[in-house]
Structure 1
Amino acid sequence: MPDPQVGRVYLVGAGPGDPGLMTLKGKALLEHADVVIYDALVSPEVLQMIHPQAELIYAGKRAGMHSLSQEEIIQLLLTKVQTHAVVVRLKGGDPFIFGRGGEELLALQGQGISVEVIPGVTAGVAAPAYCGVPLTHRGLSSSVAFVTGHEVIGDYQSQVDWASLAHSVETLVIYMGIQQLPVIVEALLHAGKDRDTPILLVRWGTTPRQERLTGTLETIVATVKAVNFAAPAIIVIGAVVGLAPPP
């Protein structure tokens, strides 16, 4: 058990990129933070909100490249909270939506550390919205599922039941799915999903670099390959994609 803590850890969602989507509470914490441990997808504009005297520690994760392991990040939080009043764990999007915030919360609480969670705007909602796509719409979609397209998260092997999702949910929002897109599309088609189902890919959503790509389940894999559309991107599948205005 660590020594009695000096401060508190704040798990803060930085939003999807546009600094205007950072919550007021999150911004206030960055302005008063002693230490900020931040991830790869936190935008430079959000990082500029951090108090200039704060200690900044990069803990970014990319596919196949981790600056710190999850265990090292947790240990770092445990160490910093012993000597600093405001320790911020700054995560892209929302800490609890495929951000491993739940793991950090449980690990810290298990050591008696005081933790507060500050939600953030998640990319799965914001990126489609910036393209004019509502995830729900009367007559088209009354259900949404947020799904990881990444096959392995840490030691956890994904068990996404694509066959069930193909017919039980009207709008699918997939995170980290670009590399696995051919596998995902094949699974949905094999389950009987209509080949003409619209699909939207949004890269760097809500930022000046935002790019979007549309198609159908039948065409999207070839289109992605043709234009070399790469991660990070959000995938939206469903009739609501057809509501998007022209780019």
Structure 2
Amino acid sequence: MSEDIIMLNNVGVKFSTSATARSIADLWNSLFIRNTGKEKFFWALKNVSFTVKKGEIVSVIGKNGAGKSTLLRVVGQILQPDEGSIEIKTKCNLLSSGIGQKPLLSGKENIYLGCLLLGHSMKEIKENFESMVEFAELKEHINRPIRYYSSGMLSRLLFTIATSIKPNFLLLDELLSAGDIGFVDKANKRMQEIIKKSDGCLIATHDMNFARNISTRSLYLKDGQVRFFGNPNEAVDMYEKDLGLK
């Protein structure tokens, strides 16, 4: 039986609602007039418990704002939980499509920057550069600033950068949520190849076909809490029913 490598027990994460002032008046009041000492918070995650076994592919589904990205950052140990406990027995690599993104730099420069941030050496980047450009289908545009890229071109570039590392356990944040259909199919195949070489994967996704057909289990988050964890088809059915699609 596969060993448990990620364990969360009643994990909660809260954020301050005062981080962003709703108006200039709110900002003025908070700085100069009154301080009630009662800072307001909201729970991005609350009472989240689940276990992932080595080799599992767990899809995390739910509406925008459900807590999916926050959960990945907690598992990746970028965020510390405010309550509960987490135990990790593997090295987690968080891959997010915006890593190292600099709009004024060219596609080539963004590849070098992103790969360096992910821990590649210059030698590795140079050796793999041409194959990365070919995979991203950007040969004619690689020297243009990415501020001029279409959304599909940018998605292809960022996905290629993010999946260039040799992972242990993968944490994937919506990498396949955009792009043309042909590239999404190619990206899914690449993801499956990467996952086979890793300890497993926890992926936030809006792709219900991916959740149903590729993941071994699904975690359905609703308002920061676990609505369901288990069989992918049951999770997706429950999610779609809550959305009024069934």
TM-score (norm 2): 0.28
More helix by share: 2
